[in-house]
Structure 1
Amino acid sequence: MSVTRTALPVHEPSVSTRTRLARPALLLAGIVLVALNMRACLAAVSPMVGEIQRTFGLSATASGLITTVPVLFQGAGAPLTPRLTRRFGTERVVLGAVLTLGAGVLLRVLPSVVALYAGCVVIGVAIAVLNVSMPGLVKREFPHRAAAMTGLYSTTMLVGATLAAGLSVPLEHALGGGWEAALGAWSLPAAVAAAVWLPQVLKARQAGSGATAAATGRVPAERPVAGIWRSALAWRISLFMGISSLLVYTLVAWMPTILADHGMDRGEAGLVFAFSNLVQVASAFLVPLAAGRMTRQRGLAVAMAGLNVAGIAVLLAAPVSGAWVAATVLGLAQGGSLGLALAFIVLRTGSAAGAAQLGGMSQAVGYLVAALGPVGAGALHQVTGGWSVVLIMMLVLAGAAAVAGWGAGRNVVLDGR
């Protein structure tokens, strides 16, 4: 493996690798609706953790697993997706994953602890498949607008999370069926997304054996990056993504509970959390655009880590009076950090094959690291009886993200020569 210093962008796929599926507007609608579901079912559960804990008599550590298990299986399921897309085609794999996601949402609300965690496993695997397959599909179908479409796709995921976090408690009141009805309702958007996506599968099937390589989920062979798992740069990118994701998912699992435990009304705590997700939308779109205009992103990575430190410090010092300030700063930090981590995958590789390799590695490592956050925070809270130690540990991890991001922001590219 070699590491080349360059400022050149990654080559986009040629038009010949592209397949025109159903109408462009319908394709775009399908992509947006699929993306809308990919974080909604995770964010929706956050304001409900306390109620789920009381329903089943769970400990704080066991409650943390409600968020940890899907994240863990996102990391474990990511390496399986390329094999699925090669065998069945990207379109059918996406449809199957969306339907599986909806089934997992329904399984999670059955009156059983086993069903609760089994649903979390199913949700995690479905999201893992979508995490890996959707960006490639976007790049294939919109080769000359891939950056803008990726921004739209990423932003839509965060919009889904924002809506879910803000609407879960009002849905519970409106439906009058407790947390089960409120969480189960999020299977309906998955069903809608599957229905809108179905024409893409039908069009791909009509192409039959004469379909292009892109239509069956295959792309022209490119030389892979040798020894990527031994690359210090690849590990820095993976750790930056992992630690950034850990901070996000820890707060997804516990931020409303932290605020409620300090005296904030549960409904307001859900709104604060939803607002933080809303702020993420702007930074997740703008930070990758800024990164693409820089030859080095070291300062940007350290700035995102610094914002994480500032937001966590406010949450530690003034959890109720400073809640909205903390939500704003953390939203900027977390949306920007995740957007930058995804940008590193493109900026630090010189081919689609290299990007796929680095993406697979960084997502596998990243989500496995991130999975430690919610359950670890729950365990620390259970041992210490408060949230101060948890937040101090998060400050330390934000510092580690700054170190990893400094290394990941070097102007070098992994290649296969």
Structure 2
Amino acid sequence: MAVTRAPQPVATTPAPLPVRTRLAHPALLLAGILLVALNMRACLAAVSPMVAEIQRTFGLSSTASGLITTVPVLFQGVGAPLTPRLTRRFGAERVVLGAVLVLGAGVLLRVLPSVFALYAGCVVIGVAIAVLNVSMPGLVKREFPDRAATMTGVYSTTMLVGATLAAGTSVPLEHALGGGWRASLGAWSLLALVAAVAWLPQVLRSRQEKAAVAAAAQPGKPIENLWKSPLAWQISLFMGISSLLVYTLVAWMPTILADHGMDRGQAGLVFAFSNLVQVAGAFLVPLLAGRMTSQRALAVTMAALNGLGIALLLVAPVSGAWVSAAILGVAQGGSLGLGLAFIVLRTGTAAGAAQLGGMSQAIGYLVAAAGPVGAGALHQLTGGWEATLVLMLVLVAVVGAAGLGAGRNRTL
């Protein structure tokens, strides 16, 4: 597995296609990317405030209810390795369009009056998001070769904005539409339809410029022996364990605060504040990463902030809640943005970015899916949250070590 020093990422990516039609206007491309990104977390975040109602509707146990949020994460890991093959065969533009439409179909499937449809919809949503997760870094690398890190910050921020809006508007939508949780969750299929319409010009452009795209669609050979590369594994572990920490706290942070005596309403506000702060971290950290030759210090800083926020939850869960939420928001949003930036910074071509994205996100989401379930099981075994938080601190050290390797000035 060849790993080379990268003084500045050499532009082995083919030059951007000439603007021959209005369909190739950069504003249309940017609008399409942002609308697609809005969908990539919204339908997951929208379901969280509705889990109790879904549980009552179908008479589900707590474990079965937890699967509503765990299954999509698990199938993001399962679907990620398939995406590079799809993009090579059909082209990134058509794959993204198909994934957005499938995502909208999964949202509708999830609200049908059947437990089977509920979980089948969760599977479809997870696979569709996996395809988008892996496709987008390659597209960004290809279309913005000189601003890949900056654009990574833009679309990762947009993902979190979509999640924040969805979590905050699910209950108001339920009241406004008058159709219960099904109407509220089903409404998010409209956002997928809007994104598909906005992305359609990119598919039409790729057809119009078929000859040019055919020449540009061979952006270098696939990375050989990727799964044997220490650098690829370091990036994958950084993303995977960072995601595990995020999903564990998404599932349990309000409960941890409430179990230590905080009012449940206030615990929800603290959690919402932490999610809001993530937006700033997801935007700023990739911008900083793109201006650095090595991102090792940045990776260790994100790990240290994660550790500090978790330690505050351990020693002062109520009195330090707001400070902990702010620190964790920066660390979690920043870790997401940095993990995605590593994909474009550590590869020289769009094909390489898609290939590394498939590996790192397959490992990442399979690892992340174990977080909420494992934390709940450990809490049930010990009767408290201390063991869970201590284990998370140990994992923070692993993230820091992986970040030291992933942040080196190397390319695959």
TM-score after normalising by structure 1: 0.88
Q: Which residue number corresponds to residue 169 of structure 1? A: 171
1:365-384 residue pairs with structure 2 within 5 A?
A: 365-384=363-382
Q: Is 1:71 paired with 2:69?
A: no
Q: Identify if the C-alpha distance between structure 1 residues 181 and 321 changes in structure 2 by more than 3 Å, giving closer, same or farther.
A: farther
Where does 1:182-331 land on structure 2 (aligned, <5 Å)? 182-207=184-209, 210=211, 212-213=213-214, 219-262=217-260, 264=262, 268-331=266-329
> Which segment is superposed worse, 58-67 or 17-26?
17-26
In structure 2, the residue matched to 1:3 is: 3
Equivalent residue letter for 1:71: V
What is the one-letter code of the residue matched to 2:34?
Answer: V
Q: What amino acid maps onto 1:212 in structure 2?
A: V
Q: 1:115 aligns with which of 114, 117, 121?
A: 117
Residue 408 of structure 1: CA displacement?
2.2
Residue 342 (structure 1) aligned with residue 344 (structure 2): no
Cα deviation, residue 124, structure 1: 0.5
1:67/1:374 contact within 8 Å kept: no
Counterparts of 1:339 and 1:58 in 2: how far apart (Å)? 35
The alpha-carbon distance between structure 1 residues 51 and 395, as it changes in their structure 2 partners (threshold 3 A), is: farther
Instruction: State the match for 2:397 in structure 1.
Output: 399
Cα distance between partner residues in 2 of 1:322 and 1:179? 34
Cα shift at 1:264: 5.0
SS at the partner of 2:40? helix
Distance, in Å, in 1 between the alignment partners of 2:259 and 2:59 is 18
The equivalent residue for 1:363 is: 361
SS in structure 1 at match of 2:213: coil
Q: Could you tell me which runs of 5 or more consecutive residues in structure 1 were left unpaired when the two chains were aligned.
A: none
**1:412 offset after TM fit, Å?**
3.2
Residue by residue over 1:333-368, the C-alpha shift from the partner in whole angstroms, topping out at 9 and shown as x without a partner, is 111112222222233334444333322221111111
Please tell me the residue identity of whatever aligns with 2:393: L
**1:27 pairs with 2:33:** no
Q: Which moved more, 1:391-400 or 1:303-312?
A: 391-400
Match status 1:48 vs 2:46? no
Q: Which range moves more in the overlay, 259-268 or 85-94?
A: 259-268
User: In the alignment, which residue of structure 1 is the partner of 2:13?
Assistant: 13
Q: Which amino acid aligns with 1:44?
A: A
Give me the whole-angstrom Cα distance separating, in 2, the residues matched to 1:45 and 1:266: 18
Q: CA 1:347–1:95 in 2, change beyond 3 Å: closer, same or farther?
A: closer
Query: What TM-score, normalized by structure 2, do the two folds share?
Result: 0.89
| One-letter amino acid of the structure 2 residue matched with residue 213 of structure 1 | A
What residue is the counterpart of 1:158 in the other structure?
160
Contact 1:165 1:271 in 2 (8 A): no
The AA in structure 1 aligned to 2:15 is V
Task: Assess, with a 3 A threshold, how the Cα gap between structure 1 residues 187 and 223 changes in structure 2: closer, same or farther.
Answer: closer
Distance in 2 between the 1:317 and 1:169 partners?
33
- Does the 8 A contact of 1:237 with 1:341 survive in 2? yes
- SS for the counterpart of 2:3 is strand
> 1:376: how far off?
1.8
CA distance in 1, matches of 2:302, 2:150: 22
Distance in 1 (CA, whole Å) between partners of 2:228 and 2:4 is 16
Shift of 1:33: 0.8
Identity fraction in percent: 80
Q: Take 1:317 and 1:111, find their aligned partners in 2: how far apart are those partners?
A: 44
The 2-side partners of 1:55 and 1:392 are apart by 36
* Amino acid of the structure 2 residue aligned with 1:336: G
Secondary structure at the residue paired with 2:86?
helix
Task: Give the conservation status (yes or no) of the 8 Å contact 2:38–2:158.
Answer: yes
In structure 2, distance between residues paired with 1:307 and 1:127: 28
- Mapped contact 2:84–2:358 kept (Cα < 8 A): no
Per-residue CA deviations over 1:140-186 (Å, capped at 9, x if unaligned) read: 33344433322211111111111112222333344444433332222
What is the RMSD of the two structures over their aligned residues, measured on CA atoms?
2.6
From 354, 359, 363, the counterpart of 2:352:
354
What is aligned with 2:40? Answer: 38
- Shift of residue 18, structure 1, vs aligned partner: 6.5
- In the superposition, relative to structure 1, how do residues 224 and 96 fare at CA in structure 2: closer, same or farther (>3 Å)? closer
Q: Is the 8 A contact 2:41 2:160 kept in 1?
A: yes
Give how far 1:385 is off. 4.4
Q: 1:138 to 1:413 in 2, by over 3 A?
A: closer
- Which secondary structure does the structure 1 equivalent of 2:9 belong to? coil
Unaligned residue ranges in structure 2 (runs of 5+): none
Whether the aligned pair in 2 keeps the contact of 1:64 and 1:377 (CA below 8 Å) is no
User: Please, which moves more after superposition, 330-339 or 285-294?
Assistant: 285-294
Contact 1:30 1:196 in 2 (8 A): yes
Q: 1:95–1:261: structure 2 CA closer, same or farther, 3 Å change rule?
A: farther
Q: Deviations over 1:262-302 (max 9, x none)?
A: 55555544443332222112212222222233333332222
Whole-angstrom CA distance in 2 between matches of 1:144 and 1:6: 14
Q: Offset of 1:131 from its aligned partner? A: 1.0
Q: Distance in 2 between matches of 1:387 and 1:176?
A: 38
On the 8 A contact 1:138/1:149 being kept in 2, the answer is: yes
Among residues 93, 96, 104, which one is paired with 2:95 in the alignment?
93
CA distance in 2, matches of 1:344, 1:212: 26
